[in-house]
Amino acid sequence: MARVDRLVIGIFGRINAGKSTLMNLLTQQETSLVDSQPGTTADIKSSVMEIHSLGPVRILDTAGLDEASDLGGKKRKKALAALEEVDIALMVVDPVQAFISMQLEVEELISSMAARKGKRLAVVFNIRSDTWSLLLNTGATVSEAKEFCRSVLPDRKNTIELSADLSVREDYLSVVKFVAESKPEGLIPVPLLPFLNPRSPVLMHIPLDAESPTGRLLRPQEMSMEYLLRMMVPVGLYRTDLALARSGSSLLSNREKDKFLKFLGALEQGSGGVQLVITDSQAIDVMSRWVPEQIPLTTFSIMMINQTAGGDMSLFAEGVKAMDTLTSASRVLIAEACNHDRIAEDIGTVQIPSKLEKLFSGITVDHSFGREFPTSDELEEYDLVIHCGGCMISRQKLSARIDHLAGAVVPLTNYGFALSWFEGPQVLSRVLEPWKVK
């Protein structure tokens, strides 16, 4: 199950501007409810598709930002959170509605927030047959109404715009062309293991703990297997019994170690010897002792976060240094982006907290799961955030989280970094060595 790096396109605007009409035009089906009733869209409506000139995309239809009432406030909060996670913000403006109301607060909010968050803003003027006649009474022209709306754009020269009647499905191609022109530069997906050569073998160490679902491997394991095969890299898969490996009995643990070294030795016969061992982070204590020093070693979690973070792990490498300054009075947040029920030896809720507790007795450890993540204000109370590999969240979502953390000035690291840190500075620098992160 490979993860697809999708271009995320969000549709924003005031209520009744025609946002859902645009959603349906882009998806060529009744994805969102369209109605003359203001406030029809409440939650974010998300649709994934493949558009010929754009590749894989996720399109988000959002609620109008100007609905009064408490419910309207909740809708606005969700829509603005979505704005933080898009690559392109399509702002739908009905110039007639805007001109007649003489209010541009919503458009101003979207434009300034997009500029602040570094989002590409593209304006779609919805020239509707059902509202433009209202302009007649004012004596103004559609061009004048549009010019009025442009006055709130922070970067008028570089903001691209389209004028179309969004209810005309035949205009699909021109709207798609417009979206393609809005696509920001430099969105090239990062290879999973960019430093590998195609000939020498890689050993993947997968301990399959009690939480591993029967019938499939975890996403990072499947993704790396697919990547390695595609790259023509010979792959060896190995499962150690961690309970035996860590047992107090040296007889049992040595027997387990010998079996592993025998397998590794066989792979070493391949061209150039084993170029890398990738392990589940939770087994780094065992692997860092068993894998001979000359063979590079890293973890799936580090591999994943490198890709999700767009190939730049410097923030996580900097953040792990905060572990050196933790005390019993510290407060740590463990953020896990995937939703699964947590049993016995869960890394996020059991393993990392108990290692922290052992070193810093009384330390406070909180958790956030799935799509939940604290706001900048809530983050301020933390001394460190330890994030999972992020294989279930998009690059855009991670980057929005990083923005919140930067706002709160809280260091961020990840499971692979943290579990390696517990094993000491040499192990930490060893797992980072293949990535050339210090």
Helix axes 105-116, 70-83, angle to 10 degrees: 30
Residue 278 within binding range of ligand GTP, rule CB under 6 A: no
Q: Residue 299 is inside which H or E element, if any?
A: strand 297-299
CA 302 distance to own-chain centroid:
15
Task: Assess contact for 145 and 96: CB atoms under 8 A.
Answer: yes
Please list the residues that pair with 13 across neighbouring strands: 92
- Least CB distance to ligand GTP at residue 65 (A): 9
d(CA 63, CA 83): 12
- Least CB distance to ligand GTP at residue 93 (A): 10
User: Please, which of residues 7-46 interact with Mg ion by CB under 5 A?
Assistant: 19-20, 40-41
Residue 364 within binding range of ligand GTP, rule CB under 6 A: no
Candidates 10-18, 221-229, 390-398, 419-427 — which segment interacts with ligand GTP by CB under 6 A? Answer: 10-18
Tokens of 136: 């007649």
- Least CB distance to ligand GTP at residue 40 (A): 4
- Least CB distance to ligand GTP at residue 120 (A): 20
Residue 221 within binding range of ligand GTP, rule CB under 6 A: no
Residue whose tokens read 């020239």: 127
Residue 128 within binding range of ligand GTP, rule CB under 6 A: yes
User: Please, which of residues 216-275 interact with Mg ion by CB under 5 A?
Assistant: none
Candidates 8-16, 137-145, 148-156, 373-381 — which segment interacts with ligand GTP by CB under 6 A? Answer: 8-16
**Which of 21, 27, 282, 308 is in the footprint of ligand GTP by CB under 6 A?**
21
Residue 27 within binding range of ligand GTP, rule CB under 6 A: no
Instruction: Characterize 343-354 residue by residue with b for buried, 16 or more Cβ atoms within 10 angstroms of its Cβ, and e for exposed.
Output: eeebbbbebbbe
Tokens of 283: 């087994």
Q: Please report, for residues 235, 266, 354, the alpha-carbon distance to residue 9 in angstroms, rounded to integers and kept in the order given.
A: 37, 49, 41
What's the angle, vertex CA 90, arms to CA 88 and CA 91, rounded to 5?
140
- Least CB distance to ligand GTP at residue 46 (A): 15
Residue 65 within binding range of ligand GTP, rule CB under 6 A: no
Is 38 or 154 the residue whose CB approaches Mg ion more closely? 38
Is 36 or 250 the residue whose CB approaches ligand GTP more closely? 36
Q: Count of alpha carbons within 13 Å of 78, Cβ hemisphere only?
A: 18
H helix runs in 240-299, sequence order: 242-245, 250-268, 284-290
**Which of 7, 16, 281, 387 is in the footprint of ligand GTP by CB under 6 A?**
16
User: Please, which of residues 176-215 interact with ligand GTP by CB under 6 A?
Assistant: none
Q: Give which of Mg ion, ligand GTP, none residue 221 binds (C-beta under 5 to 8 Å, depending on kind).
A: none
- Least CB distance to ligand GTP at residue 47 (A): 14
User: Please, which of residues 154-173 interact with ligand GTP by CB under 6 A?
Assistant: 165-167
Q: Please report, for residues 40, 281, 283, 399, the alpha-carbon distance to residue 415 in angstroms, rounded to integers and kept in the order given.
A: 41, 7, 12, 17
For β-strands 235-238 and 202-205, DSSP reports them as: parallel
Q: Give which of ligand GTP, Mg ion, none residue 376 binds (C-beta under 5 to 8 Å, depending on kind).
A: none
Residue 376 within binding range of ligand GTP, rule CB under 6 A: no
Q: Judge residue 214's burial from the number of C-beta atoms within 10 Å of its C-beta, 0-12 exposed, 13-18 middle, 19 or more buried.
A: exposed
Q: Which of 275, 327, 280 is nearest to 301 (CA)?
A: 280
Question: Which parts of this chain interact with ligand GTP (CB under 6 A)?
Answer: 13, 15-21, 34-36, 38-41, 63-64, 126, 128-130, 165-167
Question: Which parts of this chain interact with Mg ion (CB under 5 A)?
Answer: 19-20, 40-41
